[in-house]
């Protein structure tokens, strides 16, 4: 049985009266007595807000969040107000689910953690008791509270209360910056585990954003070879080459048919029969189709990317080639593994952070993350000790 007693009280959702929206366009002075946060709101708005400093309840710690990465889904909630049908920004809601920090206050009943301990925060709190939680696939818990998915405010804030059982202690060799990057790493690790990638498997990665690039680092550590990565942006393929010089890159040009892109991928890999596994990290329909055509008989197309609700697939091609199609939704049981891999030096996440901002300039951080001309890979917000 997994050890995660949590049961987050849903009555704790912050209401409008609980926080103050700071005046847009102003950058407040850093004041560590104030619990500033960045929050998305309906009509594609993004605000700094000020919330009360939380007090830890039974079994909780309050963490001084030191580093938080901006995820594509944070930007999506900001710009589009929803992800799918079930996750909708109907009220102001704090962003951020890629966070690490240090324990600031320890609540009653918490053992093994003390003020100053360095931790990564796992953003999803499942009920711990339902059938799905009991079999360990807790990412699918119907009652999960995922911080930053409305209505639960996120961890892009100065002080955040979190169940002690869902923080992961960081060794001294892992910085807060890397601790925050563990979240996209666990997404990639969950995908690699469930895709069944094995040593020596030829691998295709579609999309060289943070998830594709981190999947690349993880797949290289897992012994996949050759690895081909695609993107529509040459700049992102260049980053892939810098991270893993041996990777083969294919630029996806506008108007080229998925079958033709797949032919280029197979040629780059030197495998006319196709590749064993594809990790699809863009969610774009034509890219999923490309992944299918690039697969060998019996291959697996594993979709991590989030995309359109309805997509068409080369159905009969998949049928006569026994191509398996699988998906990943968040993650379960991956943080301890991620920490071991980074601590051992098998995965170096450091080069992924391209831009750093303070909590008070978080709005500019978001603007940077969505501005393709700024060349950002991972934008982080830091609240360092002065």
Ligand X SMILES: NC(=O)c1ccc[n+]([C@@H]2O[C@H](COP(=O)([O-])OP(=O)(O)OC[C@H]3O[C@@H](n4cnc5c(N)ncnc54)[C@H](O)[C@@H]3O)[C@@H](O)[C@H]2O)c1
Applying CB under 6 A, the residues found at the interface with ligand X are 71-73, 187, 206-212, 230-233, 236, 252, 281-284, 286-287, 304-306, 328-330
**How far is Cα 304 from Cα 308, in angstroms, rounded to an integer?**
13
127 lines the binding site for Zn ion (CB under 5 A)? yes
140 lines the binding site for ligand SST (CB under 6 A)? no
141 lines the binding site for Zn ion (CB under 5 A)? yes
Least distance between ligand SST and beta carbon 157 (Å): 17
Residue 133 site contact among ligand SST, ligand X, Zn ion, none (CB < 5 to 8 Å, cut-off depends on kind) = Zn ion
Query: Nearer Cβ to ligand SST, position 180 or 206?
Result: 180
Using CB under 6 A, count the residues that bind ligand SST. Answer: 10
Both tokens assigned to 74: 């944070």
CA 308 to chain centre: 19
β pairing state of 35-41 and 45-51:
antiparallel
Q: CB count, 10 Å around CB of 344?
A: 10
32 lines the binding site for ligand SST (CB under 6 A)? no
330 lines the binding site for ligand SST (CB under 6 A)? yes
Q: Which of 242, 238, 184, 246 is nearest to 220 (CA)?
A: 246
Among 149, 215, 289, 380, binds ligand SST (CB under 6 A): 149
38 lines the binding site for ligand SST (CB under 6 A)? no
87 lines the binding site for Zn ion (CB under 5 A)? no
**How far is Cα 315 from Cα 327, in angstroms, rounded to an integer?**
17
Name the residue with tokens 């469930």.
194
Residues 63-82, one symbol each (x = binds ligand SST by CB under 6 A, - = not), give --------x-x---------
**How far is Cα 348 from Cα 346, in angstroms, rounded to an integer?**
7
Least distance between ligand SST and beta carbon 98 (Å): 7
**How far is Cα 304 from Cα 269, in angstroms, rounded to an integer?**
22
Q: Are 219 and 192 spatial neighbours (Cβ–Cβ below 8 Å)?
A: yes
Least distance between Zn ion and beta carbon 141 (Å): 3
Query: Cis peptide before 226, with omega less than 30 degrees from 0?
Result: yes
Residues 184-213, one symbol each (x = binds ligand SST by CB under 6 A, - = not), give ---x--------------------------
CA 383 to chain centre: 20
Q: Which of 92, 97, 89 is nearest to 72 (CA)?
A: 97
Least distance between ligand X and beta carbon 328 (Å): 4
Least distance between Zn ion and beta carbon 10 (Å): 13
In DSSP notation, 159-177 reads: EEEEEGGGEEEPPTTS-HH
Least distance between ligand SST and beta carbon 232 (Å): 21
Both tokens assigned to 206: 């579609």
Both tokens assigned to 50: 């000020």
Among 121, 133, 353, 365, binds Zn ion (CB under 5 A): 133
User: In this chain, which residue has its C-beta nearest to ligand SST?
Assistant: 73
**How far is Cα 98 from Cα 181, in angstroms, rounded to an integer?**
7
Residue 149 site contact among ligand X, ligand SST, Zn ion, none (CB < 5 to 8 Å, cut-off depends on kind) = ligand SST
Q: Which residues are near ligand SST by CB under 6 A?
A: 71, 73, 83, 87, 97, 146, 149, 183, 187, 330
């Amino acid at each position: 049985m997994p050890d995660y007693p949590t049961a987050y009280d849903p009555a704790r959702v912050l209401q409008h009266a609980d926080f103050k929206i700071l005046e847009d366009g102003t950058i407040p002075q850093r004041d560590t007595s104030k619990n500033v946060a960045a929050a998305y709101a309906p009509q594609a708005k993004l605000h700094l807000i000020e919330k009360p400093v939380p007090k830890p309840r039974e079994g909780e710690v309050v963490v001084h969040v030191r580093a938080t990465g901006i995820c594509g889904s944070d930007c999506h909630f900001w710009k589009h107000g929803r992800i799918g049908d079930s996750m909708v920004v109907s009220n102001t809601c704090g962003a951020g689910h890629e966070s690490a920090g240090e324990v600031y206050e320890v609540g009653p009943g918490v053992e093994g953690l003390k003020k100053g301990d360095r931790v990564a925060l796992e953003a999803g709190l499942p009920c711990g008791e339902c059938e799905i939680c009991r079999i360990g696939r807790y990412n699918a818990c119907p009652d999960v509270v995922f911080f930053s998915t409305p209505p639960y405010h996120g961890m892009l804030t100065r002080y955040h209360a979190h169940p002690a059982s869902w923080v992961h202690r960081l060794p001294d060799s892992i910085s807060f910056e890397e601790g925050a990057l563990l979240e996209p790493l666990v997404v990639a690790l969950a995908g690699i585990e469930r895709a069944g990638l094995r040593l020596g498997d030829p691998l295709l990665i579609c999309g060289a954003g943070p998830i594709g690039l981190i999947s690349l680092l993880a797949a290289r550590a897992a012994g996949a070879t050759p690895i081909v990565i695609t993107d529509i942006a040459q700049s992102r393929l260049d980053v892939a080459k810098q991270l893993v010089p041996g990777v083969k890159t294919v630029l996806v040009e506008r108007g080229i048919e998925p079958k033709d892109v797949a032919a280029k991928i197979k040629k780059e890999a030197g495998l006319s029969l196709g590749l064993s596994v594809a990790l699809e990290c863009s969610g774009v329909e034509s890219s999923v189709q490309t992944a299918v055509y690039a697969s060998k008989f019996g291959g697996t197309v594993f979709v991590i990317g989030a995309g359109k609700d309805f997509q068409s697939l080369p159905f009969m091609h998949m049928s006569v080639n026994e191509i398996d199609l699988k998906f990943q939704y968040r993650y379960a049981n991956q943080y301890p593994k991620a920490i071991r891999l980074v601590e051992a030096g098998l995965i170096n996440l450091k080069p992924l952070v391209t831009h750093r901002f303070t909590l008070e300039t978080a709005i500019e951080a978001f603007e940077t993350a969505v501005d393709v001309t700024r060349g950002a890979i991972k934008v982080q917000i830091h609240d360092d000790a002065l």
